[in-house]
């Protein structure tokens, strides 16, 4: 008997509620009707074959789970899975600001040995899928759905430092570095940090670390994501200024570029050079365009918001700032991730087909 007819006959035998021996054969009955006749020895083999089928089902389930794990490994290459394309971050900060670049004043517990005018800690509130506006390379708006939300245990935190405030234009700054970290479990809050001046001592001596928001090395709970250098672009009249605000305004704008010399989980994903246009939609690098000589990876803006003044230092010009704003980026899928995902999906399909075939053909001969 060929395998196809065997499989069909075996299913009928399995469905029988009564099997009677007649003339060297077994006659199967179901619901009072005869459903077929089978070689005598088949009935004796049913318990053994049922055990084989159970083992086959167990093995197939295990193989499918392994294939699914392969898919998950290929996709979850970073602590937060960032889909390819435009994304939009909401963030909040706690900061110190000194117009005279006197953050390193001896009266400041957060002095870091380097003259600067602005530093602070960052808390990402949410990440959503974005929408690229026309023309391409200019702006990204929020669209949804949500990719990450603060308050569920995991947090994305960071620190920025090294910003120099300029005497002219009075509302501009240059330089600056932002480091972001992913925490599997944390419960930090920028408002709580601002409320107590004693928290200023959490900043490290070199100014690049802040206890609870950063980690010097990756561990089971904290992962370095990426380093960004503040870049020119926002000030249409300068190729040096990195942060620009209209005099008298409480809002600001800036651009950033990924720093590949400090690799993290998001370094390759966010190094897109997407922002090829400045706020006036002029192309970076074109003749006569002063604001940006090359494309940038991040476009950011924000505004000063109300908050505690616990980081203001008396007898200096160091004041407390609290800001909220948005970061915009364009995610470039890692070159190695797509083949891994496709391979895992192919494996899942092959395993599924092979298991169905094996279970269907299971039986003697």
Contact 98, 190 (CB under 8 A): no
pLDDT confidence of residue 139? 98
- DSSP secondary-structure letter at 83? P
pLDDT confidence of residue 30? 65
Query: In the chain, what is the straight-line distance between the N-terminal and C-terminal CA atoms, in Å?
Result: 9
Strand order in the sheet with 25-30: 18-22, 25-30, 33-39
pLDDT confidence of residue 364? 40
> Could you read off the pLDDT of 37-63 as tens digits, one per residue?
656 554 544 444 445 455 455 545 544
- The domain limits of the chain are 3-75+339-361, 85-333
DSSP assignment of 257-280: EE-TTS--TTHHHH----B-B-TT
What mean pLDDT do residues 104-121 have? 95
Q: Is the pLDDT of residue 280 over 70?
A: yes
CA-to-CA separations, 21 to 29, 32, 34, 291, 335, in angstroms, rounded = 11, 16, 13, 94, 65
What mean pLDDT do residues 104-118 have? 94
**Strands (DSSP E) along 195-317, which ranges?**
222-231, 243-244, 251-258, 298-304
Q: In degrees to the nearest 10, what's the CA dihedral of 102, 105, 108, 110?
A: 70
CA atoms within 13 A on the CB side of 272: 22
pLDDT confidence of residue 45? 45
Which tokens hold the place of 316? 């200096």
CA 88 to chain centre: 12
> Could you read off the pLDDT of 163-203 as tens digits, one per residue?
999 976 667 999 999 999 999 999 999 999 999 999 999 99
pLDDT classification of 235: cutoffs 50, 70, 90: very high
- pTM for this entry: 0.73
pLDDT confidence of residue 73? 39
pLDDT classification of 115: cutoffs 50, 70, 90: confident
Biggest CA–CA distance in the chain, Å, is: 111
Q: Is the pLDDT of residue 285 over 70?
A: yes
Mean pLDDT of the chain: 82
> Could you read off the pLDDT of 312-342 as tens digits, one per residue?
999 999 999 999 999 999 999 876 555 444 5
Q: What percent of the chain has pLDDT over 90?
A: 64
pLDDT classification of 27: cutoffs 50, 70, 90: low
> Could you read off the pLDDT of 128-156 as tens digits, one per residue?
999 999 999 999 999 999 999 998 799 99
């Amino acid at each position: 008997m060929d395998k196809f007819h065997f499989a069909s006959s075996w299913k009928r035998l399995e469905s029988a509620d009564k099997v009677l021996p007649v003339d060297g054969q077994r006659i199967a009955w179901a619901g009072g009707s005869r459903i077929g006749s089978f070689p005598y020895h088949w009935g004796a083999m049913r318990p053994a074959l049922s055990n084989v089928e159970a083992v086959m089902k167990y093995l197939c389930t295990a193989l499918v789970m392994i294939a699914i794990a392969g898919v998950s490994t290929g996709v979850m290459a970073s602590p937060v899975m960032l889909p390819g394309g435009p994304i939009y971050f909401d963030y909040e900060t706690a900061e110190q600001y000194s117009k005279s670049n006197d953050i390193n004043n001896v009266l400041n517990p957060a002095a870091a040995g380097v003259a600067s005018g602005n530093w602070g800690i960052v808390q990402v509130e949410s990440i959503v899928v974005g929408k690229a506006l026309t023309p391409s390379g200019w702006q990204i708006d929020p669209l949804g759905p949500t990719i990450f939300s603060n308050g569920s245990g995991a947090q994305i935190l960071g620190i920025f430092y090294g910003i120099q405030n300029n005497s002219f234009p009075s509302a501009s700054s240059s330089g600056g570095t932002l480091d972001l970290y992913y925490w599997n479990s944390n419960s930090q809050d920028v408002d709580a940090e601002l409320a107590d001046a004693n928290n200023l001592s959490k900043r490290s001596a070199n100014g690049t670390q802040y206890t609870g928001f950063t980690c010097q090395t990756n561990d089971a709970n904290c992962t370095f994501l990426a380093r960004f250098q503040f870049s020119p672009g926002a000030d249409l009249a300068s190729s040096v200024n990195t942060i620009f605000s209209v005099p008298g305004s409480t809002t600001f704008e800036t651009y950033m570029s990924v720093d590949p010399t400090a690799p993290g989980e998001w370094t390759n994903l966010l190094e897109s050079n997407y922002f090829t246009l400045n706020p006036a939609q002029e192309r970076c690098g074109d003749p006569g365009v002063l604001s940006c000589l090359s494309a940038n990876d991040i476009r950011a803006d924000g505004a000063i918001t109300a908050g505690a003044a616990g980081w203001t230092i008396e007898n200096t010009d160091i004041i407390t700032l609290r800001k909220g704003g948005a970061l915009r980026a364009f995610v470039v899928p890692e070159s190695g991730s797509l083949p891994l995902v496709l391979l895992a999906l192919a494996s899942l399909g092959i395993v599924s087909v092979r298991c169905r075939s094996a279970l269907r053909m299971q039986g003697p001969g």
